[in-house]
Amino acid sequence: MRAELIRARNPQKAPGMQAYMKSAMPYAGVQTTQLRAICKRLFTAHPISTAVDWRSNCLQIWRDAQFREERYAALELTGVRLYRSFQTLETVAMYEEMIVTGAWWDYVDLIATRRLGALLRSYPARMRTKMLKWSRSRNLWKRRSAILCQIKFKRDTDLDLLYVCIEPSLPSKEFFLQKAIGWALRQYAWTDPREVVRYVRVHENELSRLSKREALKNIG
């Protein structure tokens, strides 16, 4: 993977990509479309037979990364359809490590909205307990993940879970938590705008300006 990315690297684009993402880890300068094409080819050529080996490969790419694109590749590997049956509760620890060590929105939001959300659908009781615990974590990225994990649920959204996950972060001055609260509410507003308006009114004095603005952005 690293050899492929080095061959595809673009030193002219890399500094700009790194600056835009405010990343301490350097970029190779590989565009998303090209990165995904490389991943697809490599993942097809090197199938993985067991869930243990799959998690091991994902984590090895993640931990050994020298370029940010390698971590994007690790996330691509977590989403390969061939390994959908490997997405069990045993993967939560892997995603937790990626969230905590990645500690930035580009990694965290993908994991929260696509991977944790899918696990919540498959294991609602166990994952609900896990997300409630994360919502009270000292780690802001775990809190953000708990708030965002139902982003794609629409009418299947567990409102009680969403509101309980939001509640511990209402007093926070942290931009990424305020933004997550607003985003989660705005997304649910496509399904039930009246409910979001009601929630914002009830919590008028607790929600930050950013959260309220984001929550009501698409409501006439």
Give the start-to-end residue ranges of the domains of the chain: 1-86
142-169 CB burial, b ≥16 within 10 A, e <16: bbbbbbbbbbebeeebbeebbebbbebb
CA 192/CA 196 separation, integer angstroms: 7
CA 176/CA 58 separation, integer angstroms: 26
Check residue 6 and give its pLDDT.
93
In this structure, are residues 13 and 33 in contact, taking their beta carbons and an 8 Å threshold?
A: no
- Correct CATH for 1-86 of 1.25.10.90, 1.20.1560.10, 2.60.40.10, 1.10.1040.10: 1.25.10.90
Q: Kindly state the DSSP code that residue 111 receives in the 8-state scheme.
A: I
- How do the pLDDT tens digits run along the chain, 220 residues long? 999 999 999 999 999 999 999 999 999 999 999 999 999 999 999 999 999 999 999 999 999 999 999 999 999 999 999 999 999 999 999 999 999 999 999 999 999 999 999 999 999 999 999 999 999 999 999 999 999 999 999 999 999 999 999 999 999 999 999 999 999 999 999 999 999 999 999 999 999 999 999 999 999 7
